[in-house]
Amino acid sequence: MPSTKEIRGKIKSVQNTRKITKAMEMVAASKMRKAQDRMFAARPYGDKIRVIASHLSRASIADYQHPFLTQRNDSKKVGIILVSTDKGLAGALNTNIQRQLLQRFKEWSSEGISVQASALGNKGLGFLQRMGIQVVSQAVQLGDRPNLDRLIGAISAQIEAYKEGKVDKVYLCYTRFVNAMKQIPVVEQILPLTDEHLSAEDPKRKYSWDYIYEPDAQTVLDELLRRYVETLIYQAVAENMASEQSARMVAMKAASDNAKKLIDDLQLVYNKTRQAGITKEITEIVGGAAAVS
């Protein structure tokens, strides 16, 4: 049985750990609120550009079919953009999306489809390297606020590869924020754009749309659809950051609760050990006195 000194040392160590996890829980709660505000603030812009992209994609433009809208039947190579966190201590957040991607990767491998990837976040980059997947671009150390200027390089690598025909489809892998207790790993196709992406309608308007294109329809459609794809990825990063802070808050709260329970258990062991020591000393004194008399 450990001595009372050793048990006191363990209690002190767990108490110090609990102070750290409690502080991290409070910091994560503060950052989560800010991340949620940024995520919700980005949604109206994304919804509006989605409506406009939906209308323009259905408009008839003579002799021009945008590559983002062209479905390719035979897929020989796909690109993936994996959004993850730069830091750990976020529970199973990264593990869940990595498990989803691993399942998809096995399916693609069985069908003879090769994969190239872009990593947004340090944890995802490490996972892709361990899997032996070709990494063509990366953006790490993104901080707590998503910045499109930091993302645009890694995003452009996959977009240009799709336009040049080097990949037939591009998938976006991230964690979608539902609420503070629930985050859902998502692997969705973003190129070519699917009906799911371009099915938005403005419920307030019941008449048909007509646009005047300046300088011309092709230029407008090229710029708009590229901006729309970039918006999808930016929104995914914002969702993932909100999910990260929520998951970290929950994980640190669980760690603090477990530390408190461990302290209570150690304190009980300490009291029992101390009482056993006192009882032993009293027994020795009584036995010694009886032997003398």
Alpha carbon distance 43, 51 (integer Å): 12
- Whether residue 93 is predicted with pLDDT greater than 80 in this model: the reply is yes
- 193 Cβ contact partners less than 8 Å away, ≥ 6 residues apart: 53, 57, 68, 69, 225, 228, 229
Average pLDDT, the chain: 86
- Whether residue 116 is predicted with pLDDT greater than 90 in this model: the reply is yes
pLDDT bracket for residue 199 (50, 70, 90):
low
pLDDT bracket for residue 217 (50, 70, 90):
confident
pLDDT bracket for residue 185 (50, 70, 90):
very high
Please report the pLDDT score of residue 68 as a whole number: 83
Please report the pLDDT score of residue 102 as a whole number: 93
Mean pLDDT of 123-142: 93
- Residue 265's H or E segment, with its range, is helix 217-292
Please report the pLDDT score of residue 180 as a whole number: 84
Across 24-38, 101-115, 201-215, 234-248, least confident range:
201-215
Alpha carbon distance 179, 27 (integer Å): 18
Please report the pLDDT score of residue 158 as a whole number: 93
pLDDT bracket for residue 208 (50, 70, 90):
low
pLDDT bracket for residue 228 (50, 70, 90):
confident
Amino acid letter at 28? A
pLDDT bracket for residue 145 (50, 70, 90):
confident
pLDDT, tens only, 3-49: 888 999 999 999 999 999 999 999 999 999 888 888 888 888 877 77
Decide: 169 and 79 in contact? Cβ < 8 Å: yes
Decide: 62 and 240 in contact? Cβ < 8 Å: no
Please report the pLDDT score of residue 96 as a whole number: 94
Please report the pLDDT score of residue 81 as a whole number: 95
- Helix boundaries (H) for the chain: 4-58, 93-110, 122-131, 148-163, 217-292
Decide: 211 and 145 in contact? Cβ < 8 Å: no
- 35 Cβ contact partners less than 8 Å away, ≥ 6 residues apart: 144, 238, 241, 242, 244, 245
Amino acid letter at 60? S
Q: Is this structure's pTM higher than 0.95? A: no
pLDDT bracket for residue 197 (50, 70, 90):
low
Amino acid letter at 233? I
- Whether residue 2 is predicted with pLDDT greater than 80 in this model: the reply is no
Alpha carbon distance 220, 214 (integer Å): 7
